[in-house]
Each structure stands twice: as C-alpha cells, then as structure tokens.
Amino acid sequence: MTRKKIPSIDELRDYREKQEAYLQDCIKNHKTFVITGPKFQGENIWVAKSTLPLMEAAKEVGASFEEIWQLCRKLATLTHAPITKKI
C-alpha cells in the first residue's frame, strides 16, 4: 500500500482559492457549475472547512502534520448532514 502525500498548508490554501475563484467566475458570468464527485482520492478532506485551520494550528503549536491529517480524515468521514428529511 502506498502512502498518500500530506498536502502543505500552501497547497491546501491554493487549492481552496482556485475552487472559490472558479465558483465565483461561474456565478459572475452566468456559467453552469457542475457538481461532481471527488476528482481525486481524499479531495473531501482538502475541501472540508476544518482542514485548513487545523493544519495551520498544527504548525503554530508544533504538532505533527501526520496526526492532524489523520484527524481531518476522520472528521471528513463523520461530518455529514442529510439532505432529505425522513418521514
């Protein structure tokens, strides 16, 4: 089994900024924005709102990026809001 690369804070920030710029461009220019599944394995971790702040905090306190990344992976699998109401 190969180990997946843990992204740096700059890589996370750049990825999130590019995604936000694309979305804003679609809105501004009335383009169609297609919601797709993940483009690569672990993308849901990259786009989770908690990942970037946790990785930045890890750098501030000197925590292991690998441990924080594992935490972010767990959080990404656990946080889910249902989109349909069960009756």
What is the mean pLDDT of the segment spanning 10-35? 92
Tokens of 72: 């972010």
Q: Give me the pLDDT at residue 75, please.
A: 87
- Helix residue spans in 1-87 (DSSP H): 9-28, 43-47, 51-61, 65-78
* Residue whose pair of structure tokens reads 């700059």 in the numeric block: 10
> 46 or 4: whose pLDDT is higher?
46
- What's the mean pLDDT in 23-35? 91
pLDDT score at 82: 67
| Residue of higher predicted confidence among 41 and 25 | 25
pLDDT at 1: 35
What does 48-61 look like in DSSP terms, one character per residue? Answer: -TTHHHHHHHHHHH
Is 76 within 8 Å of 48 (Cβ atoms)? yes
